[in-house]
Amino acid sequence: MGQSQTSRMGPPWSQESSPGEGLPTEWRRQWTRSRRVLLAVLICGLLLGSSVLWVYIFRNCGPRPCKTRVCLDLLAHYLASGNRSVDPCTDFFSFVCAKANGTSNSVQTLTDKNKSQLWKLLETPRSWHLRSGEEKAFQFYNSCMDTDTIESAGAGPLQQVIEELGGWNISGNWTSLDFNRTLRLLMSQYGHFPFFRAYLRPHLAPPHTPVIQIDQPEFDILLQKEQEQKIYAQILREQLTYLNRLGTLLGGNPQKVQQHAAWFIYFTSRLFQFLRPLEQQEAQDKLFHVVTINELQEMAPAIDWLSCLQATFTPMSLNPNQTLVVRDLDYLRNMSQLVEEELLTNRDMIQSYMILGLVDTLSPALDSKFREARRELRQKLRELKERPPLPAYPRWMKCVEDTGTFFEPTLAALFVQEAFGPSIQSAAMELFAEIKDAVIIRLKNLSWISEETLKEALNKLTKLQVEMGAPKQDLKPELAKEEYSDIQLGPNFLQSFLSCSRSLQGRNVRHFLQPFPSHRWTGSPWGVKAYYSVSDHVVVFPAGLLQPPFFHPGYPRAVNFGAAGSIMAHELLRIFYQLLLPGGCPACDTHVLQEALLCLERHYAAFSLPKMAPFNGSHTLLENAGDIGGLAIAFQAYSKRIAEHSGEMTLPTLDLSPYQLFFQSYAQVMCGESSSQNPQDIYSPPSLRVHGPLSNTPAFAKHFRCPHGTLLNPSARCKLW
């Protein structure tokens, strides 16, 4: 019986009876109903509570609008440069870049903004602790801005220069000096090269020692091109009017001026006929020639090459066996023969040709009459070619540019101190590190790359150097005093300009001759062009590029990754352009690689470019690949970033999600005029640099909800990177 009771009672944890057990049946029914009501109330409460919790989480952990000053300025910039009535799925370029009066140009806008910042720094020197070397930069700028003194001097400073060169036959007395003596003075003292160009550059082959390169001249007076044949006569008339004006401003007899101006155009056109297009030189395998000074002297004897080059590139020590790199030997031969012929019968005309060219070169440093003559010529030529007029070019901008050219170390230090402090540089380096990690992941997942090539590629990335902001030597103020010691300012602005020009030329030569511990920058720190140097294996991002609207530590991360991040990724991919060239990756799966490249070529060829002449897609293939890969890598890095870190922001009232803002900021970098395209340009037109990569990015179509088959959501895409 005891066992029977125990069995009925069950295990100890089930011995407690239910609340309704032992009660009448009606009471049990009421208890059941009450329990159901309580359960329903509990469920409703849980649902309501979770809803409140979800709203709280969304509001506090979802994208927050950035309302700081830098974000509001960026918002204003975006709203001012886009046409929101356009469908982003069919014309994202207009959606981002179109304005009421044309198309915004982001790179030019940032360039002008950086110059404006330099202008403010130069206008307030008292706020800086200047040393004696740096003071010369501010003195030069102030003398450039002192237009009253420049106007009062008139043509006098230039006439003095002409007299030192022997004068000319159209005004006053002239002395028939030795032709090569005049040419030597023009090249070394005035930086004017009337018949050819000569400059120092690193040798293409290791150890990249400095070499003098001789190139075809860059004619400042524009001449006939095939597309300008219909207006050729009008162009010549405008150029003749301009040259007549220069000669008259210098006190020349109008009849003689007209005679010499006409001969100037005749002689220039003869030289112009000797030029050969770059494609023709490449086709004949004559792009570069290595010759000694002696050999060049035999081929082009009219020029005393040793004395002219020695004077120009002092303190280099040259000898007849010095090797040179020559761009086009045929041009130099023909030029020399023509000069020799004209020296026999028209020595005064040759002198006049060189002087008029110098006057045109120096006109920006002269009074307003010379500057206005040059500006009017440019405007007339643009009108004839049906191009928009040149924008206003204020005096301060020219003075800032010249000061920056002659005193770059000083302006670099001031600009970096003002616009690229340690916190900005640290944020930029952090962004670069994330982009670099994304490149590594991409390389490891390429379908066409071999294990051996991948190992080499990763090794290259490991050894890559990165420089941001400004060259390290520019940030050492003690160097400024040494750099500018030979500059003599005065007695007039032209003489100051010439002294600065000579100092810069000597400085460049000395720098080339000295062992250099790091990479020599090819642009200014306030410039906006990033680049990769193959010879030094370094990638450079100047401080001027890492500025609003392309980058700021206070921006939403979508903006920095979309704009600056895509630029960084593009520059990193340049390291691997060689792999995409024919025979550049023999160990790779060349079939897969070539299929991807052909797909890319067809992908870009499918876009129509209204109001534009056709362009050569083969010249842009590598940069198209860089654009597509840069966008894909930046997007991958951004997606990884927001997956690992909360707190993303967006711009208020723009009605764009963070991912949409990423693509907006990418396209904003590419904004520019698409009306004209140089056939030799390595970049596609701006609209194609937007639509090409975006149409190859499935995430763009997803986040903008583009219908299948629209321009930016095509049925097929290319897989290269």
Query: What amino acid positions are annotated as catalytic residues?
Result: 571, 627
Q: Are 113 and 688 contacting, i.e. CB atoms less than 8 angstroms apart?
A: no
- Residue 614 burial (CB count, 10 A): 8
**Measured between alpha carbons, how far is residue 569 from residues 484, 562, 622, 641 in Å?**
38, 10, 14, 15
- The H or E element spanning position 212 is strand 210-215
Torsion sign across C-alpha atoms 226, 230, 236, 239 = negative
Per-residue buried b or exposed e for 449-472, using 16+ beta carbons within 10 Å of the residue's own CB = beeebbeebeeeeeeeebbbbbbe
- Burial-class residue 41 by CB neighbours within 10 Å (0-12, 13-18, 19+): exposed
DSSP class of residue 125? Answer: G
The SS3 of residue 513 is helix
Tokens of 174: 């002239």
Q: How far apart are CA 348 and CA 267, in angstroms?
A: 13
Tokens of 16: 């407690």
- The H or E element spanning position 162 is helix 156-164
Q: Are 90 and 710 contacting, i.e. CB atoms less than 8 angstroms apart?
A: yes
Unique residue bearing structure tokens 């960026």: 74
- The H or E element spanning position 265 is helix 254-274
Nearest in space to 529 (alpha carbons), one of 113, 110, 202, 115: 110
Q: Are 349 and 364 contacting, i.e. CB atoms less than 8 angstroms apart?
A: no
Q: Is the peptide bond before 556 cis (omega within 30 degrees of 0)?
A: no
Beta-bridge partner residues of 292: 323
Q: Are 130 and 138 contacting, i.e. CB atoms less than 8 angstroms apart?
A: yes
Nearest in space to 531 (alpha carbons), one of 465, 578, 435, 461: 465
Strands 289-292 and 210-215, bridge-based pairing: unpaired
Residue 372 CB contacts under 8 Å (≥ 6 apart), including other chains: none
Unique residue bearing structure tokens 């928009």: 388
Q: How far apart are CA 41 and CA 38, in angstroms?
A: 5
Residue 240 CB contacts under 8 Å (≥ 6 apart), including other chains: 258, 261, 262, 265
Tokens of 152: 């009062």
Q: How far apart are CA 174 and CA 172, in angstroms?
A: 7
Tokens of 588: 């790779």
Q: Is the peptide bond before 301 cis (omega within 30 degrees of 0)?
A: no
Q: How far apart are CA 427 and CA 442, in angstroms?
A: 23
Encode 192-211 in three state secondary structure: CCCCCEEEEEECCCCCCCEE
Which region holds residue 374: left if phi is over 0, alpha if psi is between -120 and 50, else beta?
alpha
